[in-house]
């Protein structure tokens, strides 16, 4: 294949972040969402205004982490078409999808086991439409962001010196 | 005798040593210049130089063509001796 200016892989897109910042963004997205759902559940149970304010703050944390992931190069690295990635980036993306599949399959399997045990033992299961929605959005968030999160978590820092 | 262990990249592949930083410096090229010439992202050049990524045969050939050097003058499985030392010994020998 002849490399011309027309088929060069896209250059790095979005702000470059250190691995520490990328990892903070990943943790903010997933832990922020989990904490938000948990506090929202308690807030609706206790009808506490303070807890609702905490829910809003956790939503901001979650959205900030998610926004940072989506606008940084890791999103591009995980989701760009093959023609826009060079051979190393393609390898990074393929590895990220493999790890994402393993993690996602693990989470779904554990959730299935929990649901089966909860059904038999009377443990908590989502029963209202709002609770089902919280779980559904969580699964959607995980499915949508996991490959980018793996790239963000694993890629080492490199000098921005061009 | 203790068996010598080969160094490995972060993805488990054996480390391939290279002279890319020297060759780039000799020609006054930035990472971006070299990346544009061989059709990769400039960060990939950085990962190559650091030994964190081993290139495909195709990329190695592209680099070889670009520098007009045989592949073994750019990449090796053992660490390179400094070019100045090699050149001095060649001239003296």
Contacts of B40 in chain A (CB under 8 A): 9, 86-88
Domains and CATH numbers, chain B: 17-92 (1.10.260.40)
* 3-state secondary structure string across chain A: CCCCHHHCCCCCCCCCCCHHHHHHHHHHHHHHHHHHHHHHHHHHHHCCHHHHHHHHHHHHHHHHHHHHHHHCHHHHHHHCCHHHCCHHHHHHHHHHHHHHHHHHHHHHHHHHHHHHHHHHHCCCCCCCHHHHHHHHHHHHHHHHHHHHHHHHHHCCCCCCCC
Q: Which of B10, B25, B32, B41 to mutate to test the interface with A (most CBs of A within 10 A)?
A: B41
- Taking only the tens of pLDDT, chain A with its 162 residues reads 444 444 444 445 555 788 899 999 999 999 999 999 999 988 888 888 889 999 999 999 999 999 999 998 889 889 888 888 999 999 999 999 999 999 999 999 999 999 999 999 999 999 899 899 999 999 999 999 999 999 999 988 776 667
pLDDT at B31: 93
Asked if B56 lies within 8 A of A3 by C-beta distance, the reply is no
d(CA A21, CA A64): 12
The pLDDT of residue B63 is above 70: yes
pLDDT at B12: 59
pLDDT at A68: 92
The pLDDT of residue B66 is above 80: yes
């Amino acid at each position: 294949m002849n490399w011309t200016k027309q088929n060069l892989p896209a250059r790095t897109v979005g702000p470059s972040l250190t691995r520490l910042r990328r990892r903070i963004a990943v943790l903010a997205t997933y832990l922020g969402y989990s904490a938000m759902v948990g506090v929202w559940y308690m807030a609706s149970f206790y009808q506490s205004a303070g807890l609702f304010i905490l829910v809003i703050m956790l939503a901001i944390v979650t959205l900030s982490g998610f926004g940072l992931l989506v606008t940084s190069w890791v999103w591009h690295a995980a989701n760009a078409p093959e023609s826009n990635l060079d051979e190393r980036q393609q390898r990074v993306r393929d590895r990220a999808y493999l790890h994402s599949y393993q993690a996602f399959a693990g989470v779904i399997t554990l959730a299935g086991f929990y649901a089966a045990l909860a059904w038999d033992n009377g443990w908590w299961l989502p029963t209202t439409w709002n609770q089902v929605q919280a779980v559904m959005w969580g699964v959607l968030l995980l499915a949508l962001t996991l490959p980018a999160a793996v790239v963000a978590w694993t890629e080492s820092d490199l000098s921005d010196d061009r | 005798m203790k068996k010598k262990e080969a160094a490995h990249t972060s993805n488990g592949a054996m480390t391939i040593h290279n002279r890319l930083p020297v060759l780039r410096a000799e020609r006054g090229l930035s990472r971006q210049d070299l990346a544009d010439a061989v059709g990769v992202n400039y960060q990939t050049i950085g990962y190559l130089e650091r030994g964190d990524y081993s290139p495909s045969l195709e990329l190695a050939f592209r680099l070889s063509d670009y520098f007009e050097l045989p592949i073994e003058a750019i990449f090796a499985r053992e660490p390179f001796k400094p070019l100045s030392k090699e050149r001095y010994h060649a001239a003296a020998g």
